[in-house]
Amino acid sequence: MLLDAATRELADGGASSPRLDAELLLGHVLGVERTGVVAHPDAPVSTGQEASFRELLERRLTGTPVGYIRGFREFHGLAYAIDERVLIPRPETELLVDLAVARVREILTGSPRPPGTAPVRVWDVGTGSGAIAVAIAVELRRGRSLDEVRLTASDISSDALGVAVENAVAHGVADRIELVLADLVDASPMLPADVLVANLPYIPSDVIPTLPSEVRAEPVLALDGGLDGLDLVRRLLAGLPRATVPGALALLEVGADQASAIAALARDVLRGWTLTWHEDLAGIERVAALEGPRR
């Protein structure tokens, strides 16, 4: 069977999820969701479709991620355009969206907001494809609270911002997100934020050559966190007091083994801030929630 043969070939080629990759690529060729492929694995495939599938399979075998081959990736229930300019959104990052939206709703409902009250300011630092900012905007729009929020998304890469614009337009929130070219929190017109989210590069430089080929195909700028993976995290933590309002919440995704190092950094740099950890579905302390003093 075509799907079984492709799965074996991908497994032999070192793919980390060969069956899933084969199903996604075949679904892409057939113009159906992966669930359709799973439900009907023996459905007929034309000669032309098989040839197209073979071409995609060859690209995957050379290390190109499935997301780049398909040209999109699902994240938080939405489809995002992605290509080699941006990091591919991961499921664990959806936790950042959920926590940010919850905090915004808490602010909006926690006390009366008379006419003229300033909007809640949300800042996505290092936005990449814009997935986090767009997902936050769409979720708040569903709850009819987007009008009371000001969203900013920034990135040091103009190429990445180009993708973020595409995704904001595609989901009808381009007029609700201010996209800014900036290095971390060095975007003074955007300051200060009530809620700040960041999924920064956090992989140590010497680990990157050892990563699977599909990960190494992603932009180094979006992966490389320096010698210990925490270069950008240090800079962000140091800038948080001036980038946020008193009592603000900063949500930071970190690597699987970085919780203790982040906690030590926070103690040294953010006096008076509290740190709470949120685990991902695998039970890993994935998101550091840093809350500033109210003064």
C-alpha span between 295 and 293 (Å, rounded): 5
Domain ranges of the chain: 2-62, 84-291
**What's the pLDDT score for residue 187?**
67
Percentage above 70 pLDDT, the chain: 98
C-alpha span between 169 and 175 (Å, rounded): 8
pTM of the model: 0.93
Give phi and psi for 124, each to the nearest 5: -100, 105
Fold of 84-291: Rossmann fold (3.40.50)
Could you tell me which residue, 273 or 294, shows the higher pLDDT? 273
Give DSSP secondary structure letters for 174-208. Answer: TTTEEEEE-STT--GGG--EEEEEE----B-GGGG
DSSP 93: G
Instruction: Tell me the CB-side half-sphere exposure of residue 242, using CA atoms within 13 A.
Output: 10
Q: Helix crossing, 131-142 with 158-170: angle to 10°?
A: 20
Amino acid letter, residue 4: D
Fold of 2-62: Helicase, Ruva Protein; domain 3 (1.10.8)
**What's the pLDDT score for residue 42?**
79
C-alpha span between 268 and 261 (Å, rounded): 11
Q: Given pLDDT bands bounded at 50, 70 and 90, which one contains residue 14?
A: confident
Instruction: Tell me the CB-side half-sphere exposure of residue 257, using CA atoms within 13 A.
Output: 4
Q: Given pLDDT bands bounded at 50, 70 and 90, which one contains residue 190?
A: low
Q: Given pLDDT bands bounded at 50, 70 and 90, which one contains residue 57?
A: very high
Q: Give tens-digit pLDDT for 207-252.
A: 999 999 899 999 999 999 999 999 999 999 999 999 999 999 999 9
C-alpha span between 277 and 8 (Å, rounded): 39
